[in-house]
Structure 1
Amino acid sequence: MTHRSAPQSRPARRRLLMAAASLALIAPLATACGSGSGSGDGKTLRLWHYEDQNGALDRAWSAAVDEFKQSHPGVKVIFERKTFEQIQQNAGMILNSDRAPDVLEYNKGNATTGLLAKQGLLTDLTPVVTAHGWDKKIGESASVTARYDAKGEMGGDKWYGVPNYGEFVLAYYNDDLFAKYKVAKPTDFASFEAALAKFRQAGVTPLANAGNEYPAAHWLYLLALAKADKSWVDDYQLYKGKVDFHGPEWTWAAEKYKEWLSKGYFDKKDVGLKGNNMSEQFISQKRPIMVSGNWWFGGLTSDIKNFTWSVAPYPGARMTLGSGGNQWVVPTRAKNKKLAEDFIDITMSEKIQKLIGESGNVPLAVRPDQITNARSRQLIDAFDHYQQSNGLAFYPDWPVPGYYDTFVAATQNLMNGSSAKSVLGQLAGPYDTYVSTRH
């Protein structure tokens, strides 16, 4: 099955940076460690990843390389920074050759990790995962995209990747505007709607949104999750049962979306906006609430200088959009699999996981109370809330090839006045067709 990956659901800014970087292959950076008679004496670890230079994960992986060098004094480390597009487009060809690296960052999903696993190009890491106890550190819902079955579909019983971080959708609050308009911070769906109503009574459109990219579609799925349970998610995402787009979950979500539009909680003019426009609504203090991904967290930390803000789990559902992040994979043709295993283990260590957290990302294997940065601790605490309750429900466009564009068009139609029934029919058609023909 082809799978719409999470990076395609991220802000356009990140996608454009990736595309620009793909114009040139960054030259390999070869670093020879000091001489010695360590366990890997005379060997080489070849490592690829595509994180932006000086970003939170790039800093974490650089620190992991330093740790690896200290514990493997006889090993040379060759690191090559690729772009997302380079790995995505050429992975199958390269991993099936003698040029395969020993370990690389790769995108999660059926069309990426799942496809290569099905083709026999990735090492089954299950024995390694259990031996190191990584499966005990990574929550059940965060590990789904690391495990695949014989068909290459996620949620199987064999680990072909190891994620080190997570991603999810949460609530961002402008604390100053909440105080100015004497609005209480919401703790459940009823108090969330009460907050929306109070802002609107004061003449403020409360919710940041954008219809011409993923945010509006995320809202529709998030509302459906308010009425859903885990079996509903498994039916939709993992094809474990029949999905009824005119059932209570989707119907309530579409009707509630239209209700919020009519009450002015969203602005109908948001239908043509992109994700960056949504974040700007929050940054410019035009909208006091933004419910979106943790991938905005670092940018907001840098960009917001003139008001106080905070993050928390979205109070309207037990589950949220999210998953484990991209993952380390080991090619079948890797020459030094044991060294790759050792490197992955270092990235799962408390030291590196804490560094990920302090840098504003979401580590999978460290407790929130181990993070000293107060706002970063809020972020990680919110993610831990979902990881501990098996509450990561993936993304709405994942189950069907090309479904992202379908979702954007459908939610734009909803914002432009189409009926809930017709919009849900628009979503049902491609899904039902694909599920009936996928084997």
Structure 2
Amino acid sequence: MVLNSKDAPDVMEYNKGNATAGLLSRQGLLDDMTSEVTKRGWDKMLSPNIQVTSKYDDRGVMGGDKWFGVPNYAEYLQVYFNKDLFEKHDVKVPETFADFTAAMDAFVRKGVTPLTNSGAEYMAHQFVYQLALDKADRPWVEGFQRYTTKANLTDPAWTHGATTFADWVKKGYVAKNSVGLKAEDAGVAFMSGKFPMMFSGSWWFGRVNETAKFDWDTFVWPEAKMTPGSGGNLWVVPKGSKNKKLAYDFIDITMKKHIQNTLGNAGGIPVAADPAAITDPKAKKLIQNFNTLAQNNALAFYPDWPVPAFYDKWVSETQRLMNGKGTPAEILGEVQKAYDAGLPK
């Protein structure tokens, strides 16, 4: 509503994906910034994997030919772990997926819930997506996210994801009473030392680094062929911007090398930093892990992106899954209906 009024801002940070920036581009509410991107060289700074969420076609589907936004950072999901709790309970830090489940079993045997979780927001359905990705391939992701093939949300990969997550709830890997918790609740619980692990975004990194009073580290989901991640939120310029040159000048500042270097050392994932300028060891590892995923075309975006209003559907259906109010097949069937209804006509 604001973008379609005389009060549109000159520049705005906005979420990326078909359901958000893509929808606005389709509605004609964002400036096509293709000429500015090429003139200022931002296209040379962003890897192809990151460019996907910046460019949209006439249907508002990401991966198109027109630039409607530019990210100055990137993001992905990883496992944060409390080294002190692992040592206290004599649990081995996992290197393989089998190690991962063995570690969770070991914590459960000692009366410790291994993973913090938020059923009322994104964490829970991101578990389902990651577990599905473990059985999927790149064409599967492209079909689901970009409609290159017809997506079947009840196929073996999705079934594995939903069934395994429901099983994890039963086994106590995540607390059943986390069904009503928000991401903030889950993150604070991990940072206060109540849980050995948190599977969530790199956006927590700086805060964990500042807040956690225990020894901690991170690892990419064990043996992941792909994991949720992408370029970060986009700088977009509304069609109604009254100072477009200043808006583009502002975006350009955030892409400067010294700004990017500062971002990297502060716990973000810069898109155009000098690797040698990143001095913090944990930040260096964070960025290196992202770069490896990006180079291997292993960033799988996020499960709520493909269609408008999909996020709320994922939340409600994953809550039903955690509460045992539907079988995995029934839950996925409802998600499929929402997906099909939201596809661009």
TM-score (norm 2): 0.89
Pairing of 1:36-435 with structure 2 (within 5 A): 89-94=1-6, 101=10, 103-110=11-18, 112-305=20-213, 307-331=214-238, 340-366=247-273, 368-417=275-324, 418-435=326-343
Counterpart position of 1:65: none
User: Contact 2:114–2:196 at 8 Å: present in 1 too?
Assistant: yes
User: Contact 2:55–2:67 at 8 Å: present in 1 too?
Assistant: yes
Deviation, structure 1 residue 406: 1.6
Counterpart code for 1:243 = A
Give, in whole Å, the separation in 2 of the partners of 1:339 and 1:191: 52
Higher relative contact order structure (alpha carbons within 8 Å, sequence separation ≥ 6): 2
Deviation, structure 1 residue 165: 0.8
Give, in whole Å, the separation in 2 of the partners of 1:393 and 1:271: 25
Counterpart code for 1:176 = D
SS in 2 for 1:245: coil
Deviation, structure 1 residue 251: 0.7
Residues 358-399 of structure 1 deviation map (CA, whole Å, 9 limit, x = unaligned): 222221122555311222223222322322222222221222
Q: Which runs of 4+ in 1 moved over 6 A?
A: none
User: Which consecutive residues of structure 2, in runs of 5 or more, have no partner in the other structure?
Assistant: none
Q: 1:198 to 1:112 in 2, by over 3 A?
A: closer
Q: 1:149 to 1:425 in 2, by over 3 A?
A: same
Deviation, structure 1 residue 216: 0.8
Q: 1:393 to 1:349 in 2, by over 3 A?
A: same
Give, in whole Å, the separation in 2 of the partners of 1:337 and 1:278: 40
Greater Cα shift, 311-320 or 354-363: 311-320
Give, in whole Å, the separation in 1 of the partners of 2:334 and 2:44: 41
Give, in whole Å, the separation in 2 of the partners of 1:272 and 1:121: 35
SS in 2 for 1:172: strand
Give, in whole Å, the separation in 2 of the partners of 1:331 and 1:276: 30
User: Which consecutive residues of structure 1, in runs of 5 or more, have no partner in the other structure?
Assistant: 1-88
Give, in whole Å, the separation in 1 of the partners of 2:99 and 2:342: 39
Residues 18-52 of structure 1 deviation map (CA, whole Å, 9 limit, x = unaligned): xxxxxxxxxxxxxxxxxxxxxxxxxxxxxxxxxxx
Counterpart code for 2:33 = L
Deviation, structure 1 residue 341: 4.4
Q: 1:415 to 1:104 in 2, by over 3 A?
A: closer
Give, in whole Å, the separation in 2 of the partners of 1:180 and 1:342: 52
Give, in whole Å, the separation in 2 of the partners of 1:110 and 1:100: 22
TM-score (norm 1): 0.72
Deviation, structure 1 residue 270: 1.9
SS in 1 for 2:13: strand
Q: 1:393 to 1:94 in 2, by over 3 A?
A: farther
Q: How many residue pairs end up in the alignment? A: 344
Counterpart code for 2:255 = M
Greater Cα shift, 343-352 or 417-426: 343-352
User: Contact 1:313–1:383 at 8 Å: present in 2 too?
Assistant: no
RMSD: 2.5
User: Contact 2:15–2:21 at 8 Å: present in 1 too?
Assistant: yes
Give, in whole Å, the separation in 1 of the partners of 2:258 and 2:177: 46
Give, in whole Å, the separation in 2 of the partners of 1:368 and 1:182: 36
Say which one has the larger Rg: 1
Give, in whole Å, the separation in 1 of the partners of 2:327 and 2:233: 37
Q: 1:278 to 1:388 in 2, by over 3 A?
A: same
SS in 2 for 1:356: helix
Greater Cα shift, 134-143 or 340-349: 340-349
Counterpart code for 1:146 = S
SS in 1 for 2:2: helix
Q: 1:261 to 1:159 in 2, by over 3 A?
A: same
Counterpart code for 1:280 = V
Identity of aligned residues (%): 49
Greater Cα shift, 359-368 or 104-113: 104-113
